[in-house]
Structure 1
Amino acid sequence: MAHSVPGWRNAAAVVATTSLLAAGVGIPGASAATAPRVDLRVLVVDNGDSPVQAITAELKSTGIPYTRVNLDDANRPTIDAAFLSDTVGGTPRARYQGVVLPNEAPFGPGSAEQSALETYERTYGIPQVDAYTWAHPGVGLDYTSEGGWAGSLDGRAATVTDAGRASRFGYLDGQFAFEDNSASTQESYGFVARPRAGYTSYVDLPVPGGSGRGSLVGEYAHEGRRELVVTFAYNQHQRQFRVLARGIVEWLTGGVHLGRSRNYFGVHIDDVFAPDSRWDTERDCTPGSFNCDGGDGARAEPIRMTAADAEYAEQWQRSSGLTLDMVYNGGSGEEWKEANGGTDALTDRLVADRNAFRWINHTYTHQYLGCLQDTSTVPWSCAKNADGTTRYLSRADIAAQIRDNHAWAVARGLPVQRDELVTGEHSGLRTLPQQPDDNPNLAGALADNGVKWIASDNSREPAQRPVGAALTVPRHPMNVYYNVGTAAEMVDEYNWVYTSAADGGSGVCENHATSTCLAAPLDPATGYASHIVPQEVRTALLHAVGNDPRSHYAHQSNLAEERLLYPVLDQVLADYRALFASDTPLENPRHSAVGTELKRRAAWQTAVANGTVTAYRIGTTVTVKAPRGTAVPVTAPAGTQKKLALGTAAFGTPYAGARSAWDTPEAPQSALTLKLPS
């Protein structure tokens, strides 16, 4: 059984107790008519273990203010009544709406700090998350020796119970599997145990080698307190945590909190209309590149989509429900057309289907927009002026690349936005080690063309930053190479990068601390499907379910020939839809919307860090004050109303069973005020 009848009764009793506490019953100095003020902030008690750090990362990503107490810090504050609560304007105040602990009693059972914390939770109805603990009666579970089990959870399928879906995990579709990425490494350890009275299981699985089901996540209601008990170890990068993270945070905050979280997946297709060079499997390099001897491109046909590939892309979009962003080089297409008899069926097809896709300016001919490259050495270096200063492409030349490509698109009716730009190879921006600074002519050229959002490579620069008046928008590179059209070519290059020199590879993986060599080269016939696709799917899906709006990028070559990108995209979408309910769809924002989201998050984090945000709940009223002009992220239950200057309006937009938005007060209001449903 996922729960017992006494457990449901106990949980109902706690809900009733919480309602009484909200009315002021049992709170020192409060009357029955005075509800306490509960600040929208979380207390995190951190012992350095990965489960606490994972939840902390989720709080930060969502935008929820939190106070961290480091148990390893000899100068940390003492957890006592004065630290946890006080009175503001005669109203009792709970400083924290929820508490995250490494386990059920990190200060020691019966200790002064543990007792102060438990009294605080009991008095104000504050929930507690036990980030990771073992199964025992102190957390409402039988010992694993009593019909339970403890061991590796790798590859095992867990289920969200009916009670879990009715609580805060209803955004999940039912089942999810624990990751099992390596047969030689234990990735997840857990305790699977039977609930006792007062415990309601939210996530369980069949007891391995036994009978019945045992809990992994559940709520333990006892002595006027509520704990969310997690009995498996995890870190923030594991899929099992990522899919449960939203529910943990919503349970912790009662579904009312600052911050906003969505799941995102966008894919940019670079170099559209341009050909891409092909990997040479004999010389293990790309003809035409600076480090490929004799690389004039003559030995390998370039890779370019055909009209049939374009038609397939449009059909795939309709069947998959995901819109691709076509990052185009109009001038490169014109050059191809001129060199191939004056006709180009690919361009004709894509222009005919122009409204099916989104379009982003990628410069007219993909020219390198940074320093002038001296290719007489490998790797290349920046050319120098006579006085030793770096020679850069001029502002006029950069502006022309942007302007001419935009004009080309407008002339053909492509729905392109002037303020969005992706430069070829993210050039113009600093490129280490050769060009440590942006091209000083770049910012002016962006301003000349009204560009507000310029793409950057997230693997190099994950943080958004200004380039003059514009802002960068980091993108995730996909590990499906730009210079391959077939699976065999992809595997050949992958083997060159990721196998040791002894196995015929480049040995690069042996010389970089962040790389890992393959145990053996992949089979050219099967390696792409069996190894590379699952690896790339896992990475992309972790981004998608991590509240990360950054788009991924691949290249037009990956939609050509064997169309290598589609197996990755299909599996990401299939895995996602198997995990999440229909009210939690993948959002697919365009380039400028991603930039706006990142800009808002940065401003919000700054306001929170500077202590200029005040947010609290009194009864069913939520009040948030922030610096004027700062958009405020808030999540609240369905039915929440926003107070207007005159009257009210429904708050937010629906997602994952709740409503959320970036919002601001209406003039002349100084605070954002929400009325929660009764």
Structure 2
Amino acid sequence: MVNKNRMNRAAAAMGVAALISVALPAATAHAAVTPRIDLKVLVVDDGGSSVDAITSELRDTGVPYTRVLLGSTGRPVINAGFLADTVDGRPRAKYQGVVLPNENPFGEGSAEMAALSAYETAYGIRQVDAYTWAHPGVGLEYTDNGGYSGQLDGTQAAVTAAGKAGPFNYLGGQVAFEDNSALVPESYGFMGKPRAGYTSYLDAPVAGGRASLVGEYAHDGRSELVVTFGYNQYQQQFRLLARGIVDWLTQGIHLGQERNYFAVHVDDVFAPDARWSKELNCTPGDYACPGGEGKESTIRMSAADAQYAAQWQTAKNFKLDLLFNAGAGEEWKAQNGGTDALTAQLIADRATYRWMNHTYSHPFLGCVQNTAVVPWTCTKNAAGAVNWMSRADISAQIRDNNNWAASKGITTDRTELVTGEHSGLKTLPQQPQDNPNLAGALADNGVKWAGSDSSREPAQRAVGSALTVPRYPMNVYYNTGTNAEMADEYNWIYTSRAAGGSGVCEDNPATSTCLPAPLDTATGYLDYIVPAEARTALRHVLANDPRPHYVHQSNLAEDRTLYPVLNQVLDTYRTLYAPSAPIVNQSMKDTGVELSRRAAWDKAVADNQVTAYRIGKDVTVKAPSGVLAPVTAPTGTKKQLLLGAADFGTAYAGTRSAWTSPELMQSAVTLKLPS
């Protein structure tokens, strides 16, 4: 590192000289005219994971960007004409921010870097250095002068006072670097002491004090956000900082918006769920469990479990969605003396929850199945056509469940439905198409949002006039009621045949990893499975992903296996984030609306049908008719109305944001930024 430091001292000096010699673009000749700044980001991509992570943040939050891939033949040359021009006599900056792999990916003396530097200076455009090392060229001392370079796994970094007052004000303060495996290095970086002009936003302890990992370097009329550690789009340390990086880059005003979403659907409420057999390594009652006949056992919540669920919701300030099968509950009651304390308790607490239709008796709504073979197949009639559940029968399952709920004073949104096992929707490989009777039955009952399995279909799609809402399955199994059962089934799935498992993990190495040894069934669930599942769920929460998660009523029964996972997700989140960025716990309908708005927006952006720019304090956004635009702006921003103005958007994470459209008799959204 010492030799590299010496080499880069000379290179940094040459770079400064090169910047000083660059002529500014034509904007300086129009100093009296306020330039137009287009709301788009320029990404110069070297193919590395750090630039890819920032690009994913732009893409997933709806920020338009232009990507220039370094090293590709035929890529555009970054020069003054590429960066700026004149529109209607007004100088225009085509990009409001620039993302580079490092402070100068073009090489010393590069005309492209000189053009970028001049552009940033002339128009006040900011630059993110996605990953670089600590050296004076980015405002930091070398690491051998009170800093550190090396592995960062498990590092406990903290947002500085300047970071909390600035771009990372939505964080609680701590940014822990992931350390998920002692066997695999997960993060590497540099920590340097700030020099003049550098303001640290994130630092960590080093021998003799603290050193910076993220900070702003102001020099030569330019501002760079300097990141001195490597990362990918999934790592928690990046996910925590991603919002602030974009807000800093765009100076708080950009297209796109971001929230941290978390909703949990509890399927099969009122119905019992079948129980896993650790002796048979399958679930008796399932057609694919040979030898299970006569060994069936079920798991069902008790009234005490229902009381606990209501108390837990209050304590955690978090609402569960109960997806219910009233007919299955009525059948249970009939088989157990005509009374059901669970149903009585849930009805008494009905206002505590959100409720959703899961069909009356949870039948398979697709093709008529032949379960005499493994895997099952669709039966066919004499003409060779698939036998399908009828439209009338599907409609009755939806209607009867809603009517039962209404008779008990339970409020449901009849536009929402999740079918049992997502049946009726295509189920590969046996049923490669939707039940053709499903769309009509949905329309008969006014269903607009149909839950689907995100592990099968991650994207939203149409089913007749309805749209799907993909849901994440949580790795807390429906057929287990105790921690020991969870660990036993997990062992069967995730251990090799030699270690007594099914070997599925060996057969599918691309999608699963075998455990090095079976988990202790007494401790494995809480010690291993819970942290792993909580990490996965939290990763979704931090990724601006509104898709709900789903579990089953069995996970609220007996050992109540779900709560340790939810507690870890919620408690960790609330430690990481300030109160200004609460978890958004919304309905499936609201998630469906969000996903459909995003799809329309992404298409409009891809088709170059969006025009958005800032001139001084005035912001204009134009999108195709009927397409709402996601916009994020500083607190104090006003939206122009037909008469007067109003506060723009809703507050979240220190900014204001909303899906917005022009007001009456307007052709564009017009905002006024605060002074």
Q: How far apart are 1:295 and its partner, in Å?
A: 3.0
2:332 corresponds to which residue?
A: 336
1:654 corresponds to which residue?
A: 651
C-alpha deviations, 1:206-252, integer Å up to 9, x for none?
11xx2111100000111011000000000001000000101101001
Q: How far apart are 1:294 and its partner, in Å?
A: 3.4
Give 3-state SS (helix, strand or coil) of 2:216's partner: strand
1:9 corresponds to which residue?
A: none
2:260 corresponds to which residue?
A: 263
1:514 corresponds to which residue?
A: 511
Residue number among 419, 438, 453 corresponding to 1:423 in the alignment: 419
Give 3-state SS (helix, strand or coil) of 2:291's partner: coil
1:120 corresponds to which residue?
A: 119
Give the 5 Å matches for 1:131-210: 131-207=130-206, 210=207
Give 3-state SS (helix, strand or coil) of 2:290's partner: coil
Residue 574 (structure 1) aligned with residue 562 (structure 2) = no
CA distance in 2, matches of 1:60, 1:428: 32
Residue 308 (structure 1) aligned with residue 307 (structure 2) = no
CA distance in 1, matches of 2:333, 2:71: 66
Give 3-state SS (helix, strand or coil) of 2:239's partner: helix
Q: How far apart are 1:26 and its partner, in Å?
A: 8.2
Structure 2 contact 262–583 (Cα < 8 Å) conserved: yes
Give the 5 Å matches for 1:8-27: 27=27
Residue 406 (structure 1) aligned with residue 402 (structure 2) = yes
C-alpha deviations, 1:598-618, integer Å up to 9, x for none?
000000001111111000000
CA distance in 2, matches of 1:303, 1:532: 20
Residue number among 381, 384, 390 corresponding to 2:380 in the alignment: 384
Q: Aligned AA for 1:264? A: Y
Q: Aligned AA for 2:181? A: S
1:547 corresponds to which residue?
A: 544
2:7 corresponds to which residue?
A: none
C-alpha deviations, 1:297-352, integer Å up to 9, x for none?
x4243000001100100000000000000000000000000000000010000011
Give 3-state SS (helix, strand or coil) of 2:346's partner: helix
CA distance in 2, matches of 1:151, 1:448: 62
Residue number among 357, 361, 366 corresponding to 2:357 in the alignment: 361
Residue 440 (structure 1) aligned with residue 436 (structure 2) = yes
C-alpha deviations, 1:467-508, integer Å up to 9, x for none?
000000001100000000000000000000000000000000
C-alpha deviations, 1:395-414, integer Å up to 9, x for none?
11111111111111111111
1:232 corresponds to which residue?
A: 229
Give 3-state SS (helix, strand or coil) of 2:531's partner: helix
Residue 243 (structure 1) aligned with residue 240 (structure 2) = yes
CA distance in 2, matches of 1:136, 1:300: 67
Q: How far apart are 1:146 and its partner, in Å?
A: 1.1
CA distance in 2, matches of 1:72, 1:341: 75
Structure 2 contact 280–292 (Cα < 8 Å) conserved: no
1:631 corresponds to which residue?
A: 628
Q: How far apart are 1:25 and its partner, in Å?
A: 12
CA distance in 1, matches of 2:464, 2:67: 36
Structure 2 contact 496–504 (Cα < 8 Å) conserved: yes
CA distance in 2, matches of 1:475, 1:294: 33
Residue number among 661, 667, 672 corresponding to 1:670 in the alignment: 667
CA distance in 2, matches of 1:527, 1:399: 43
Residue number among 554, 557, 562 corresponding to 2:559 in the alignment: 562
1:18 corresponds to which residue?
A: none
Q: Aligned AA for 1:289? A: D
CA distance in 2, matches of 1:379, 1:300: 20
Q: How far apart are 1:549 and its partner, in Å?
A: 0.7
C-alpha deviations, 1:359-413, integer Å up to 9, x for none?
0000000000011111121111111122222211111111111111111111111
Structure 1 contact 202–215 (Cα < 8 Å) conserved: yes
Give 3-state SS (helix, strand or coil) of 2:627's partner: coil
Residue 91 (structure 1) aligned with residue 87 (structure 2) = no
Q: Aligned AA for 2:46? A: N
Q: How far apart are 1:27 and its partner, in Å?
A: 2.4
CA distance in 2, matches of 1:46, 1:392: 50
Q: How far apart are 1:358 and its partner, in Å?
A: 0.2
Structure 1 contact 25–31 (Cα < 8 Å) conserved: no
Q: Aligned AA for 1:183? A: A
Give 3-state SS (helix, strand or coil) of 1:384's partner: coil
CA distance in 2, matches of 1:424, 1:30: 65
1:350 corresponds to which residue?
A: 346
1:529 corresponds to which residue?
A: 526
Structure 1 contact 266–324 (Cα < 8 Å) conserved: yes
Give the 5 Å matches for 1:53-132: 53-132=52-131
CA distance in 2, matches of 1:385, 1:77: 60
Q: Aligned AA for 2:570? A: L
**Structure 1: any 5+ residue segments left out of the alignment?**
1-23
CA distance in 2, matches of 1:126, 1:390: 61
CA distance in 1, matches of 2:475, 2:300: 19
**Structure 2: any 5+ residue segments left out of the alignment?**
1-23
Structure 1 contact 29–92 (Cα < 8 Å) conserved: no
Q: Aligned AA for 1:97? A: Q
Q: How far apart are 1:659 and its partner, in Å?
A: 0.5
1:485 corresponds to which residue?
A: 481
CA distance in 2, matches of 1:463, 1:316: 32
TM-score by length of 2: 0.96
Structure 1 contact 278–286 (Cα < 8 Å) conserved: yes
Alignment size in residue pairs = 651
**Aligned Cα RMSD in Å?**
1.1
Structure 1 contact 373–382 (Cα < 8 Å) conserved: yes
CA distance in 2, matches of 1:97, 1:301: 62
CA distance in 1, matches of 2:125, 2:26: 14
Structure 2 contact 284–297 (Cα < 8 Å) conserved: no
Q: How far apart are 1:588 and its partner, in Å?
A: 0.4
Residue 35 (structure 1) aligned with residue 26 (structure 2) = no
CA distance in 2, matches of 1:137, 1:430: 58
CA distance in 2, matches of 1:427, 1:295: 24
Q: Aligned AA for 1:537? A: A
Structure 2 contact 85–93 (Cα < 8 Å) conserved: yes
CA distance in 1, matches of 2:74, 2:369: 53
C-alpha deviations, 1:550-587, integer Å up to 9, x for none?
11000000000000000000110110011000111001
CA distance in 1, matches of 2:232, 2:637: 33
TM-score by length of 1: 0.95
Q: Aligned AA for 1:274? A: A
CA distance in 2, matches of 1:529, 1:47: 41
Give the 5 Å matches for 1:486-505: 486-505=482-501
Give 3-state SS (helix, strand or coil) of 2:594's partner: helix
CA distance in 2, matches of 1:166, 1:516: 43
Give 3-state SS (helix, strand or coil) of 1:369's partner: coil
